[in-house]
Amino acid sequence: MNRLQAIRPFGQRIWLDNLSRELIASGELARLLADDGIAGVTSNPAIFYKAISSDASYQGELAVLKQDAALSAEARYEKLVVADIQAACDLLLPQYEASQGNDGYVSLEVSPELSRDEAGTLAAARRLWAEIGRANAMIKIPATAEGIRAFQTLTREGVNVNITLLFSLPQVEAVWDAYIAGLSARLADGQPVGGVKAVASFFLSRVDSLLDAQVAEQHKGKVAIALSKAAYARYQERFHGEEFAKLRAAGARPQFLLWASTGTKNAAYSDVLYVESLIGDETVNTVPDATMAAFRDHGDAALTLPVGMDQAKALLAEVEAAGIDLAAVGEKLQQDGLKLFEDAFVQLLKLTA
């Protein structure tokens, strides 16, 4: 068992935070699934910009699509990436089936330009869900107020969602409110709830990158992990308590936390900091290639997420007492993250125009 596979006995799934046609066609994705136990894949506009701009295997199909003047740049982009998502879903289908639908998911994000458009998000999510046509697909939606409302509706409709760009505890709580409400409505509709899967993507390294210049020395590089532990404590309370009991009895799945932005941005920190520190049951960590290679080489798999919960809460209280509003920080980081994805999407559409 390699170091990445050693994480799985602790109940955490490792997903790959990357996707491209070359990754699929070369057999590299299949190798990662077989050798490293990768259980899912996430993508975003920045990932697909890098793929389409650097991977020659897209160019032939793109040239054909550009001959159809009736297709918009976004429609051409969707045709390219939907094919990749379908192929990745097919590779992961055995995991999906063997786990009764708990593993084996591939995420595709709606246009970030829709982040403040509930109706537009719903329309795009429904269209992509139908076009992909795979039970182990996930539609990725940013956790703005409009996105969260769309998420609740999509959950009621039975669409799998990866709700993303979460940076604070209030944001995560709002997402879980929507998930539980959506599932409850689905159950009241007489529809099965057991087939619906959702994850809540909580971002790490960007929190510390912003706050390290503001917090006390002893708190540098620790706030994101403390927030994650506090979120996990709330996950345990909400999904293993009375609130979710009726839904759980009906077969509903809890909405796992997914640790995102887990590549270390500060060279002073361990390159596996945000993997080693957050290993725990009923969680996912989506890991970029470089961080995955680092953990494969020298990572240490141990049950770390439930450890030090009281210290984490105390650290967050000290940070707040020092005048840092962590909820406001979360809102700023979400806006910054949306801008990054919007900019990447604009550049992406220039490639397909």
Q: Is there a contact between 341 and 44 (Cβ–Cβ < 8 Å)?
A: yes
CA distances from 94 to 12, 30, 37, 135, 161 (A): 18, 12, 12, 12, 20
- The catalytic residue among 50, 140, 197, 265 is 140
CA–CA separation, 164 and 348 (whole Å): 20
- Would you call 140 a catalytic residue per the annotation? yes
- Where residue 216 falls (left for φ over 0; alpha for ψ -120 to 50; beta otherwise) is beta
Alpha helices in the chain (DSSP H): 21-25, 28-36, 45-54, 59-66, 73-98, 118-132, 145-157, 169-188, 205-211, 223-239, 245-249, 273-276, 289-298, 309-321, 326-352
Amino acid at 176: W
Which positions are catalytic?
140
